[in-house]
Amino acid sequence: MIEKEDMATTPRPIAQDTLATSSNTIQVPATQEATIPTANPFIDVDDLLALKVVSDPQISSDGSLVAYTVLQCDEETNTTSSAIWLIHSKDSKAQNPRQLTGTGSNKHLDFAPRWSPDGQSLAFLSDRNGSAQIHILPLAGGEAQQVSSLNQDITEYSWRPDGKAFLAHSAWKPIDELNQPDTSTISVEYTRLDEQSDGLGYKQGRHQQLWLIALDGTSTRLTSESVDIIQSCWSPDGSEIAFCANRRLDPDLSVSMALWVLPIPTGQMRCLTSEDGLALMPSWSPDGQTLAYYYSIDQTETSNISPWIVNAHDKSAPRPATSSAVNLTCLELIVDELHLSMVGRPSATAAMSTHSLAKMVTSLPWSAQIGLHLAISGEWTTTAKIGTNLLVSMTRSYVVVNWFAQNA
C-alpha cells in the first residue's frame, strides 16, 4: 500500500510459497500461436477453361420443360463447343439434366433452341456442317435433321405460328445471286462506314435479310435491303412480320432504327414509328392489333429507353406504355470476358417497386388476357397457372421480367 503519493515505493520480492498458495494470484495461460486462415486461391487459366456457361433458356408451351445451351472449352484443341440440354421445370433439383445434342466425339456449336408451337420438336442452330443452320430434333426420338441450307450463317430465327415454316435472318448481297467466287479474302474494298461489325469482323458488303424457310428446306428471301434487319417477330396469325431497321438515306451516320411491319401477301412495308428515334425488340399483342417495343426518342445514346405501344394497323401515334414510362430506362449492356448481355429492367434511379411494375404491366391494353406473360425482351405468350409472381430470369442476352396474372 502506498502511504503517500510523493513517496517512492521500493519493490519487494514475493516468496514462491506465497505465489503457490495465494488465491488472488492471476494465472496467465501460455501464449498460443494465432491460427492463420488459408487464403482462397486465385482463379487461374485452368479454372476459366473449366467453366461451363449456361444460356438462352427456353420454356416449352406447356411449361413442363426447359431447353438451354451449355458452352464449354477444350484446352487441347483450343476450341469451344456447345450443346442443347433439357430439364424439367418442376423438381429440377431432384432430376439430372439430359444432354440432347453434342454427345458424340465430334464437337461443334449447337445453340439457340426454340420449341415448335405444338411442343413436339425442338429446333436449334448448329454449325456441324460448316455454317450455322436450322436443325430440328423430334423429342419422340430420332436424329436431328438439317432444314436450312443458306450460303451464310443464320443469326436469329423463329417458328411461324402454324409450325410449318421458319423466319430467319442471314447476310446477303446482290452478287450472291450470281454464284460468283468470293474474292473478299484477296482484296477488301471499303465503301461504307458499317463495313465492320463487332464480333463479326468484315461484313463483305452483306447485310442481314429476312428469309422464309419451309420445313422441306425451301428458302425464299423476303427482303433485299442495303441495311441490317434485326429483331423480327411474327404476328399471331403469321401474316405479318414486325422488325427494326435503319432505312434512312444516310443509315451509317445515325444509330436510329424505326419499327416496320412487312405483310407477307403484299410485301409492302409500312413504318410505325419515327425514324429519328431508336426502336428495339418489338412484340405483338395476342390479338395482333398492337405492338409493344422499346424506344428512345433521340440518337444521343444517353436518353432513357422505355416501353412504348403503337397500333399496328391504323395511323395513330405511338405512345408510352404509361405516363411515367419515359422516366424509366429498361435496357443496359453488360460485357464480361465470356459474353455480351443485354439487360432489360427498370432503372435503379427510378426506384421502381414490384407494385409499380405490376401497375405498369397491367395498364397495357391487352393485360386482361388470361395468363398474361410480359417478356420485356420481346415475347408475349400464355402460361400455366402459377399465381401472381414477378419472375426475373437471367439469360444470355437480357433479363426477362414476367408478370403472371392472378387468374391465369
Domain count, the chain: 1
pLDDT in tens, the chain (408 residues): 444 455 555 555 555 555 454 456 666 666 666 677 666 778 888 888 888 989 899 999 999 999 999 999 988 888 899 999 999 988 767 788 999 998 777 789 999 999 999 999 999 999 999 999 999 999 988 889 999 999 999 999 999 999 999 999 999 998 888 877 777 667 777 888 888 777 677 888 889 999 999 999 999 999 999 999 999 999 999 999 999 999 988 888 888 899 999 999 999 999 999 998 999 999 999 999 999 999 988 777 677 888 899 999 988 999 988 877 777 777 666 666 555 555 553 322 222 333 333 333 333 333 333 223 333 333 333 333 323 332 333 232 233 333 333 333
What is the pLDDT, as a whole number, of residue 301? 66
Nearest to 132 by CA among 202, 180, 77, 200: 200
Q: In the beta sheet, which residues pair with residue 196?
A: 202
Residues 6+ apart with CB under 8 A from 136: 116, 121, 122, 123, 144, 145, 147, 215
C-alpha cell at 221: 428471301
Half-sphere exposure of 31 (CA within 13 A, CB side): 1
- For residue 358, being part of any structural domain is answered with no
What is the pLDDT, as a whole number, of residue 369? 31
Domain range for 54 is 44-144
- For residue 286, being part of any structural domain is answered with no
Chain centre to alpha carbon of residue 226: 26
d(CA 174, CA 44): 48
DSSP 48-115: HHH--EEEEEEE-TTSSEEEEEEEEEETTTTEEEEEEEEEESSSGGGS--EE-S--SSS--BEEEEEE
- For residue 274, being part of any structural domain is answered with no
CATH number at residue 119: 2.120.10.30
Nearest to 390 by CA among 377, 404, 376: 404
Structural contact between residues 131 and 117, judged by C-beta atoms closer than 8 angstroms: no
d(CA 341, CA 394): 9
What is the pLDDT, as a whole number, of residue 365? 35
What is the pLDDT, as a whole number, of residue 238? 96
- For residue 223, being part of any structural domain is answered with no
Residues across the chain: 408
- For residue 249, being part of any structural domain is answered with no
- For residue 313, being part of any structural domain is answered with no
What is the pLDDT, as a whole number, of residue 336? 60
What is the pLDDT, as a whole number, of residue 10? 54
- For residue 49, being part of any structural domain is answered with yes
Q: Using the Cα atoms of residue 222, residue 165, residue 178 and residue 198 in order, give the sign of their dihedral.
A: positive
Q: Count CB-CB contacts under 10 A for residue 296.
A: 23
Q: Reduce the DSSP state of residue 160 to 3 states and report it.
A: coil
What is the pLDDT, as a whole number, of residue 217? 94
* pTM assigned to the model: 0.73
Q: Using the Cα atoms of residue 81, residue 86, residue 92 and residue 97 in order, give the sign of their dihedral.
A: negative
- For residue 105, being part of any structural domain is answered with yes
